[in-house]
Chains A and B, each alone.
Chain A
Amino acid sequence: MGSIALSSLSQGLLWAVMAIGVYVTFRILNTADLSAEGTFPLGAAVAASLMAAGWPALPATLIAWGAGMLAGLVAGFVHTKMKIPGLFTGILMLTGLYSVNLRILGRPNIPFIGLETLMQRAAAVTGGRLTAAVAVGLIALTLVIFLFVWFFQTEVGLAIRATGNNQTMAEANAIHIDRMKMIGYMIGNGFIALSGALIAQNNGYADIGMGIGTIVIGLASIIVGEVLFGRRGFVMSLIAVTIGSIVYRLVIDAVLALGVDPQDIKLFSAVMLAVILWLPNRFGTLKGRIRT
C-alpha cells in the first residue's frame, strides 16, 4: 500500500508539470488548448528518439521541452495570425502532431531498454526506483514553479496575464495581444512536452498513444486543486494544481487497485472530470471558488 502511495506521489508530481502547462493556457490565457494532446507525446517522442540515438537523458529532456515550445509557437501562430478559434487550433495541432510524433518515433513505441533515463541516474543517488521518480518530479516541479512565478511577474508576464484576463484593457494599454498569446502558448506547451519527456522515461517507453486524455488529466488536476484550495496567489495556485494532480493519481491508482480494467481508465477519467466540473455548479457552496 505504501508503495502504491509513493507511486501515485511520483506520478502526480510528474503529471503536475503537465497540469501547470495546461494552467498557463487555461487559466492565464483563458483558452482550453487541446494541443496538449499532441505536445505531451511530442516531448516523449523527442526525448526517446534522441536518447535512442545516443544522447544523454538531460539534454534530450531539455530539447523535448524546446520542441514543445516550438509546437506552442505554431499553435499560437495558427490561433492569432490565422485567426482560428482556440478550440480548432487545438484540434488542428493534436491531429497534425500525431503524424509528426510518429515520424519522430519512427514506430508506434520506443522502449528505453538499455538507456539511462533521468530516473535511473537519480536512483543511483536515492537508492530506489520510486524515490528516484519522486526526486526527479520534485526537482522538475520546483524548477517549473520557480520559472512560472518569476516569468509571470516580469513585464512580459504581466502583459500576457492582462491579455488573457481582459483583452480590451490589454489593447487599450498598447499591449501586442497576438505576440503575448503566442508566448503564452509557447510556455504552456513547453511545460507539457517536458512532462511528456519525464513521464515516458519514468514509464520506460514513449508511445504514440500516450497523449490521449492529457487535457482531461490537466483540467481535472487544476479544478481539483481549486476546489480544495480556492484561487490565491501564484505559488499557492500552483501548489494546489500539484496537489490536485497527486489526488487525481491517487484516485486512479486506487481504482486500478480495486480491480478496474486499465482499459476502462480513460472512461473513468472522463466521468470523473465531468463530476468534478458538475459538483461545484450543483452545490453552490463551492461555486465561488472556481472563477473562470
Chain B
Amino acid sequence: MNQTLSIVGLQKTFERGQALEKQVLKQVSLTLAPGEFISVIGSNGAGKSTLINCIAGAVTADNGTIRLDGEDITKKRTDLRAKDVARVFQDPKLGTAGHLSVEENLAIADRRGQKNRFKRGVHGSDLARFREKLAVLDLGLESRLHAPADTLSGGQRQALTLIMATMQRPKLLLLDEHTAALDPKASMMVMQLTEQLVREMKQTTMMITHNMENAIRYGDRLIMLHDGEIVIDVRGEAKKRLTVAELVDRFRHATGDAVVSDRQVLSGEALAAM
C-alpha cells in the first residue's frame, strides 16, 4: 500500500478480433511512490500513450487494475478521475480552450473537481493569485489575462497548461511528450518549468518523452516500454549515472535483439546528441 499509483497486469488490445488486432499493452505492472518523478521512453508505438490514456481514463484497459492512492480507478469515468489525475498533452492546443481567455482557462482549472454553479466564473478575488502564478513563468502572461488562449504561442500555451494542471494539486500528473511539438527554446523553457513545479510541489509525475537526454536528466526513475512491456526500470544512483549510450546498450540487452537499429529507439535529436 501507500503507493500513489499501483498498476497490476494491465493489458490492452486494439481492434480485438479484427485483422488489425494489436496487443499494445501486454502485461504492464508498475508502482509509483508518493512524490516520485518517472520518465517513460520507448520507440514509436511502444504503448506509452496508451498506458497514460488508461491511467487517465481516455482508454479502458481490457485487464488489470489501476489504483490511485489505494482507490481502484480502473473503470472510473474520465471526468471524475480528472480531479486527481491531471494531464498535459503533446499538442499545445489540447490543454487549453482556445476561445476562452487566459483567466477563464485558469478559473476552470482552479475549480477542477468542484461543482459548477450559476455564479460568476472568474472571481475578482482570484485574479491576484492567477497573476502571481503566471508571473513565475516570466512570459508576460500575467498582463494578458483577457487574451484568448489561442492567441498565445505554443510554448506559452503549454506553460499555461502546466500551471492549470498543477493548480489544484493532483495526486498524479501525466505528461505525454508535452515538449515534443515545441521549438527547442520553448521546449527547454517548458521542461525547466516542469522540473521546477514537480520539485517544489513534490508532485508525483509520469512523463513520457521522446528525448532520451531529458529522460536521463529529469526524473528520479526511468522506464522503457517496448512492445507493450516494461523492459528497463532504473532508479536512484544507477539512474543518475545513466548515459544515452548505456541506455541503448541496455535496451539491446533487455530486448535480446541485436539487430534493432538505434533509430528504432532514439529520436533524431538524441541520435544527433550522441
Which residues of A does B touch, CB under 8 Å? 151, 153-159, 161-162, 165-166, 168-177
B124 CB to closest chain A CB, in angstroms? 12
- List 29 interface pairs A-B (beta carbons < 8 Å), by A numbering: A154-B119, A155-B111, A155-B120, A155-B121, A156-B116, A158-B100, A158-B104, A158-B121, A158-B122, A159-B108, A161-B99, A161-B100, A162-B108, A165-B100, A166-B98, A168-B89, A168-B94, A169-B97, A169-B105, A171-B58, A171-B78, A172-B86, A173-B108, A173-B109, A174-B79, A174-B82, A175-B79, A175-B108, A177-B79
With CB as the reference atom, state the residue of chain B lying closest to A172.
B87
Residue of A whose beta carbon sits closest to that of B164: A173
Contact A170:B111 (CB < 8 A) given known A154-B118, A158-B104: no
A1–B226 alpha-carbon span in the complex (Å): 77
CB nearest to B146 among chain A residues: A233
Contact between A155 and B100 (Cβ–Cβ < 8 Å)?
A: no
Contacts of B78 in A (CB 8 A): 171
Give, as a whole number of angstroms, the nearest-CB distance from A169 to chain B. Answer: 5
The one of B93, B109, B121 that contacts A154, using a Cβ cutoff of 8 Å: B121
A30, closest chain B residue (CB): B99
Residue B80 at the chain A interface, CB threshold 8 Å: yes
Check B112–A173 contact: CB distance below 8 A.
yes
Residue of B nearest to A162 (CB): B97
| Those of B53-91 within 8 Å (CB) of chain A | 56, 58, 78-80, 82-83, 86-87, 89
Q: Are A156 and B82 in contact (CB under 8 A)?
A: no
Indicate if the CB atoms of B97 and A155 lie closer than 8 Å: no
Cα distance A174–B118 when bound, in Å?
A: 17
**Do B120 and A171 have beta carbons less than 8 Å apart?**
no
Shortest beta-carbon distance from A190 to chain B in Å:
15
Interface residue ranges, B against A (CB under 8 Å)? 56, 58, 78-80, 82-83, 86-87, 89, 93-100, 104-105, 107-109, 111-113, 116-122, 164-165
Q: A159 and B82: CB pair below 8 A?
A: no
Alpha-carbon distance between A169 and B97 when the two chains are bound, in angstroms: 6
A168-B93 Cα distance, complex, nearest whole Å: 10
A183 CB → nearest B CB, Å = 10
Pair A172/B82 contact, Cβ less than 8 Å: yes
Compute how far the CA of A157 lies from the CA of B121 in the bound complex, rounded to whole angstroms: 8
Chain B residues within an 8 Å CB radius of A175: 79, 108, 116
B80 surroundings in chain A (CB, below 8 A)? 174
B-chain residues with CB within 8 Å of residue A155 when the two chains form the complex: 107, 111, 116-121
Given the known inter-chain contacts A153-B122, A154-B120, please indicate yes or no for A169 contacting B96, CB distance below 8 A. yes
Query: A161 contacts which chain B residues (CB < 8 A)?
Result: 97, 99-100, 104
Chain A residues with CB below 8 A from B164, complex form: 173
Nearest chain-A residue to B57 (Cβ)?
Answer: A171
A23 CB to nearest B CB, Å: 13
Q: In the assembled complex, which residues on chain B have CB atoms less than 8 Å from the CB atom of A158?
A: 100, 104, 107-108, 116, 121-122
Name the contact of B83 in the complex, choosing from A154, A156, A174 (C-beta under 8 A): A174
